[in-house]
């Protein structure tokens, strides 16, 4: 995998993980306004980064969550277990 | 804390609630396995006392 | 329903073929305290959780465990995919090879297949949450023994990540337990 693609993917992975952690925290602290504000901020950032990635390399999420160029990009390799970081 | 103890009942386990204050930067958090400094408890095998392998 | 995101939760790396390490790590794929057990346990218990916080926590942690299953699979896959047959024999993975070649299958470190008896779904949410807290501790211990065994520092990094996740999950189940206890107490009063 090319370096710029790997770097963009790593940034998404890192932000994704922050969103997941805040999500689990909010599940048991639904009224923590600061955590919620942080969650929404990270989600917004993630949305922008995902769009940038998908425009360049095809869908990151299937079933109508990302556009594809011709031919169908979803099945393009590498799959996650084939990536070397 | 004393108030908390009064409310506690026998034959029950209690985990204190985490209070979110700050977090690690996204990539740092991913590398550590948590974004929460108060939950970051890395494994240090050599510090384990009383184990046969030292 | 579920969606698949075409990336790993953690960037997995291995130093090279190592069937011996794969044979041990596979227990977190299909062993008693592994990620399949964790995921299926939470995802099946969630239907009888009484409060929204508990339904959310079990759904989300159950989903994260699927991502952990994928991390363990990626480790095992990359540790055996280029391993020569001689190495597979020398590393004691020949028995596994006889049944599965270099494919992924749900077994523990000594070859026992996954079974639903590894998990429980009791109908009592407090009992189930205690089980889950114990399960997180068992998984944490397993990762510690695997870290002690590991001779590949890149694999150890991923094992450390997975171990840390068990501590966070324990905390969340502990908080969920408190909320369910409060819910049960309120029910008794009114
Ligand atoms: Fe877990």
Q: What is the pLDDT of residues C87-114, one digit of tens each?
A: 999 999 999 999 999 999 999 999 999 9
Closest residue to B18, CB basis, from C144, C171, C177: C171
Is C8 within a domain? no
Give C5's strand partners: A61
pTM of the predicted structure, to 2 decimals: 0.96
| Cross-chain Cβ contact A81/C168 below 8 Å | no
Token pair, residue C147, equals 């870290």
Is C115 within a domain? no
Place of tokens 């009942």: B9
Residue C81 lies in domain: 19-110+121-189
The structural domain count of chain C equals: 1
Q: Ligand 1 centre from C61 Cα, in Å?
A: 7
Ranges of each domain in chain A? 3-79
Which residues of chain C fall below pLDDT 50? none
Q: What is the pLDDT of residues A15-25, one digit of tens each?
A: 999 999 999 99
What residues are neighbours of ligand 1 (ion), with CB under 5 Å? C 166, 169
Quote the pLDDT of residue A53. Answer: 97
Quote the pLDDT of residue A29. Answer: 98
Q: What is the pLDDT of residues A2-56, one digit of tens each?
A: 899 999 999 999 999 999 999 999 999 999 999 999 999 999 999 999 999 999 9
Q: How far does C110 lie from chain A, in Å, by closest CA? A: 24
CA distance C134 to C173: 10
Token pair, residue C38, equals 């964790």
Res. A1 pLDDT band, cuts 50 70 90: confident
Quote the pLDDT of residue C151. Answer: 97
The separation between the first and the last C-alpha atoms of chain B, rounded to the nearest angstrom, is 37
Is C6 within a domain? no
Contacting subunits of B (3+ beta carbon pairs below 8 A): A, C
Is C116 within a domain? no
Quote the pLDDT of residue B53. Answer: 47
Is C42 within a domain? yes
| Cross-chain Cβ contact A28/B17 below 8 Å | yes
Closest residue to B35, CB basis, from A10, A18, A32: A18
Rounded to two decimals, the ipTM of the complex is 0.97
| Portion of chain A with pLDDT greater than 70, in percent | 100
Name the closest residue on chain A to residue C64, using Cα atoms: A20
Quote the pLDDT of residue B47. Answer: 54
Name the closest residue on chain A to residue C176, using Cα atoms: A28
CATH value at residue C88? 1.20.1260.10
Chain A interface disruption, residue of B26, B30, B33, most A CBs within 10 A: B26
Question: Which of C65, C146, B29 minimizes the C-alpha distance to A42?
Answer: B29
Instruction: Provide the angle, in degrees to the nearest 10, between the axes of the packed helices C153-189 and C52-80.
Output: 160
Check if the beta carbon of residue C159 is closer than 8 Å to that of residue C34. Answer: no
Q: What is the pLDDT of residues B5-54, one digit of tens each?
A: 778 999 999 999 999 999 999 999 999 999 999 999 999 986 555 554 44
Question: Which of A37, A40, A83 minimizes the C-alpha distance to A60?
Answer: A83
> Average per-residue pLDDT in chain A?
96
């Amino acid at each position: 995998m090319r370096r710029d693609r790997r770097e963009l993917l790593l940034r998404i992975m890192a932000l994704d993980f922050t969103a997941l952690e805040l999500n689990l925290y909010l599940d048991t602290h639904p009224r923590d306004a600061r955590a919620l504000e942080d969650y929404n901020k990270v989600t917004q950032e993630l949305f922008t980064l995902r769009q940038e990635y998908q425009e360049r390399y095809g869908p990151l999420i299937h079933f109508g969550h990302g556009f594809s160029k011709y031919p169908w990009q979803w099945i393009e390799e590498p799959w996650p277990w084939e990536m070397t970081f | 804390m004393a108030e908390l103890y009064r409310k506690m009942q026998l034959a029950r386990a209690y985990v204190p609630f985490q209070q979110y204050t700050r977090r690690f930067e996204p990539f740092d958090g991913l590398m550590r396995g948590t974004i929460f400094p108060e939950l970051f408890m890395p494994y240090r095998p050599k510090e384990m006392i009383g184990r046969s392998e030292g | 329903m579920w969606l698949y995101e075409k990336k790993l939760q953690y960037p997995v790396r291995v130093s090279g073929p190592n069937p011996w390490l794969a044979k041990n790590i596979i227990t977190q794929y299909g062993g008693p305290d592994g990620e399949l057990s964790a995921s299926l346990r939470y995802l099946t218990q969630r239907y009888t959780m009484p409060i929204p916080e508990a339904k959310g926590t079990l759904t989300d942690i159950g989903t994260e465990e699927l991502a952990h299953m994928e991390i363990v699979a990626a480790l095992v896959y990359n540790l055996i995919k280029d391993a020569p047959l001689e190495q597979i024999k020398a590393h004691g993975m020949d028995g596994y090879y006889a049944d599965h070649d270099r494919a992924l299958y749900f077994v523990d470190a000594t070859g026992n297949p996954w079974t639903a008896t590894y998990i429980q779904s009791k109908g009592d949410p407090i009992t189930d949450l205690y089980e889950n807290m114990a399960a997180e501790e068992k998984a944490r211990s397993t990762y510690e023994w695997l870290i002690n065994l590991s001779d590949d520092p890149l694999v150890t990094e991923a094992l450390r990540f997975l171990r840390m996740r068990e501590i966070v999950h324990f905390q969340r189940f502990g908080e969920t337990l408190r909320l369910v206890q409060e819910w049960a107490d309120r029910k008794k009063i009114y």
